[in-house]
Amino acid sequence: MNPFKMLRRAFVALALVIGTVAFAQGNLEINTPAISTLKQSMQQRHVQLAPLYASGAVGLAADGTVALRDASSVPLAQRGQVNALVAAENADRAALYREIARANGHPEWEAEVRKTFAQRWIERAQPGWWVQGAGGWAVRR
């Protein structure tokens, strides 16, 4: 057989395999009860977190968590609650990343999921929110 033909055939076959994988990529399972519950809990908490993002008290960290970066604008008596809020949000986020990896049958993807989310949270942050980049904390423009 013509070696080029063989190569071409192999190429097509492999391209098909890649195509299948690409197709599989189109669907990452995120509709499990655990993920929905986490989303819901985070959505409710967001009502309290949004003004803290806006004031810069809480920022979006590079590791996919939120961080209490400057509590000065929060009244003293509420700093503890803000810290609890941040801790609870981070617990939910950690569970979310783990759940997404697990829901897709790849618990070992957790770190990658976290990394992806970290980037997306930051990129989608509203102007004025504080985000942590390679050069430290900065206001998102």
Near other proteins in 42-81, by CB under 8 A:
42-43, 46, 50, 54, 57, 68-74, 76-77, 79-81
Q: Which of 8, 63, 138, 139 binds other proteins (CB under 8 A)?
A: 8
Per rule CB under 8 A, is residue 102 in the interface with other proteins?
A: yes
- The residue whose two tokens read 């961080």 is 67
Q: Based on CB atoms, which residue is closest to other proteins, 19 or 133?
A: 19
For residues 55 and 126, is the Cβ–Cβ distance under 8 A? no
Q: Which of 52, 55, 58, 95 binds other proteins (CB under 8 A)?
A: 95
Distances (CA, A) of 35 to 9, 12, 38, 85: 42, 38, 5, 19
Q: What is the dihedral of CA 68, 72, 78, 84, to 10 degrees?
A: 10
Per rule CB under 8 A, is residue 28 in the interface with other proteins?
A: yes
